[in-house]
Amino acid sequence: MLYTTSCGIVRKTWERCRDTLALLRAHEIRAEIRDLNINGELVDEIMDRMGLHNEERDFILMSLPLVYVDGNYFGEERDFILMSLPLVYVDGNYFGNHSTLIECNDTGELAELLDKFKGRQKCNTCGDMGYTLCSSCRGSKKSKMTFQNTNLRCAICDENGIVPCKDCFCA
């Protein structure tokens, strides 16, 4: 699983995410791509994975390195996570970030470490984007159901009118 962002506002983070995705694709690695730019709720998911929501949160935060960007302190959990992207998880366990993948690739270990995930092919359904338009509302985010002459919000898709591609994530 790769947590990434397609948002190019913080250029260095976007470049790391883009390069990591390109590296996984070059090795034909099957991976579930989770884009925080498309789904902001994924930040909470990462915080849960890192243990930042439990009672040990303060201890964990104190053990994290202090992150400064252009002289500005980024100590908040959400900011730290966004500046740490991309994050790679293998079999539910943290594997590393961009630096880890590059280092493993340079030493030749990446191919053998991720060998069991080989076999990725370009998805014809979503074009390797990982998401498709909601088939229920066709991206309008409006349900076919109404309540007091008001359209209800579609319960199947997210706030962007898209759903994870079933062909990519089931493979």
Condensed to tens digits (0 to 9), the pLDDT of residues 84-143 reads: 889 999 988 889 899 999 999 999 999 888 888 887 677 888 887 778 999 999 989 888
Ordered by where they begin, the domains of the chain are 2-117 (3.40.30.10), 131-170 (no CATH)
Query: In which band, very low, low, confident or very high, does the pLDDT at 10 lie, cut at 50, 70 and 90?
Result: confident
The whole-model pTM stands at 0.68
Q: What pLDDT is attached to residue 98?
A: 92
Distances (CA, A) of 22 to 1, 13, 53, 97, 102: 14, 14, 32, 14, 11
More confident residue, 62 or 41: 41
- How far apart CA 73 and CA 57 sit, in angstroms, is 19
Q: What's the whole-number mean pLDDT along residues 71-91?
A: 71
